Amino acid sequence: MNIIDIIVKKKNKEELTEEEIKYVINSYVEGSIKDYQMSSLLMAITINDMSNDEIKYMTKYMLESGNRLDLKDVVDKHSTGGVGDKTTLIVAPIVASCGVRVAKMSGRGLGHTGGTIDKLESIPNINLNLTKEEFIKEVDDINMAITSQTDNLVIADKKIYALRDVTGTVESIPLIASSIMSKKIASGAKKLVLDVKVGNGALIKNIEDARRLANIMVSLGKENNIDVICMLTNMDIPLGSNIGNTLEIEEVLDILTNKKDNNLRHLCIEISSYMVSLGLSITYEEAKKLVISKLNDLSAYNKFLEFIKYQHGDITKLTKKARVYNIKSNVEGYITKIDAYKVGRLSMLLGGGRENKEDVIDYSAGIILNKNINDYVNKGDILFTIYTNKDISNIDLNILNITKDKIDEQSLIYEIIK
């Protein structure tokens, strides 16, 4: 068995066997399959897809490439990635303050979408490389913990994840499903809420593909005795107003201190309600009341501060050190489109993300959107503010449309799949 034959087989749209997938995963982890060979196979998978059996085997052997945790009574969540998506940093403290244990292994950004670990690393001194023992102890002590993927947990996914980010293979449904579910199964949680983003700012562009991904992950969950709820949510517009790592931490603080009431807050309440419902075995309606109360009385905010302090971060030293540019409107009318993909791409070009595997992120870089869909703007109004240490003279800043009429309200949540 050799990697060239397997690449050619998938290139020719043939189904890989369990043994072939096992060979690929194990050999890549061991180093006998090189990055350039794995990149070729990932592209063939992205173009030609995988069957449900192939996805199941991919998940199985990625899972077996590392150790597993046994976290009892834990509820986990995951988002498939979107522009401005900092839900984990809001949802985890809300749910933990409701008395539900949350253990979250998070990743870095993929393509134009941001990553939870990148955002948290903008907080000085924070420790995001917890050992297994530290991870479990923190959950026991304060009901929540967030860590990057440890070296000995789902090793294959950690290597493949970094490769996908820089090889144009982030949007493959089989690769998304096997990556997410191998990590979730390894983390030991038996209850899981998945936020599947749909739209031009997400990895998944249409509702049909989102349904397929959701159903695959629900099926993988059932096979591993995990209760999974999938939410299909709108990512045609950015989530919240702040895009970029330090900027997004600032918006997290705004939401947790009740200074903002926007689509980000509304979605976090919904995700938290489903997680608390699963965790406490209460109705969604009862859970939602509890969630809102913990937001309103600042219990969730205090839990976030407790989490940051526990992992040695210093939230008081959250500073921006970038040049500031205010982008003003030269026309009047209503904002009818904020292109989430273009916003995410712009943030990356400003320094807030990675184009190459070796790129170093500028945590201060990003964008604040000062207007929202259906807001009226006059000439000279500030549409958005850019923070960057780069030259913006050759960067396309056309990220929104202004027309004379409003548009219909857009749904935030499309479907719930269980």
Residues involved in catalysis: 78, 157, 164, 179, 183
| Cα gap 204→63, rounded to integer Å | 23
Place of tokens 């030991």: 188
Give the C-alpha distances (Å, rounded to integers) separating 26 from 20, 39, 58, 150, 177.
10, 15, 11, 18, 19
Region at 193 (left for phi over 0; alpha for psi -120 to 50; beta for the rest): beta
Question: Are 17 and 23 in contact, with CB atoms under 8 Å apart?
Answer: no
DSSP secondary structure of 76-118: EEEE---TT--HHHHHHHHHHHTT-BEEEEE---BTTB--HHH
3 state DSSP class of 231: strand
The pair of three-digit structure tokens given for residue 44, joined into one six-digit string = 């063939």
Give the C-alpha distances (Å, rounded to integers) separating 73 from 70, 100, 103, 308.
10, 8, 10, 22
Cβ contacts of 176 within 8 Å, gap of 6 or more? 80, 170, 203, 204, 213
| Cα gap 155→158, rounded to integer Å | 5
| Cα gap 179→31, rounded to integer Å | 19
What angle, rounded to 10 degrees, do the helices at 155-165 and 18-30 form? 80
Cβ contacts of 285 within 8 Å, gap of 6 or more? none
How far is C-alpha 195 from the chain's CA centre? 9
Candidates 173, 170, 172, 127; CA nearest to 150 is: 127
Phi and psi of 239, rounded to 5°? -95, 105
Question: What residues pair up with 384 in beta bridges, in sequence order?
Answer: 327, 369
Phi and psi of 381, rounded to 5°? -65, 145
Candidates 143, 147, 158, 155; CA nearest to 312 is: 147
Which H/E stretch holds residue 323? strand 323-328
The pair of three-digit structure tokens given for residue 2, joined into one six-digit string = 């050799």
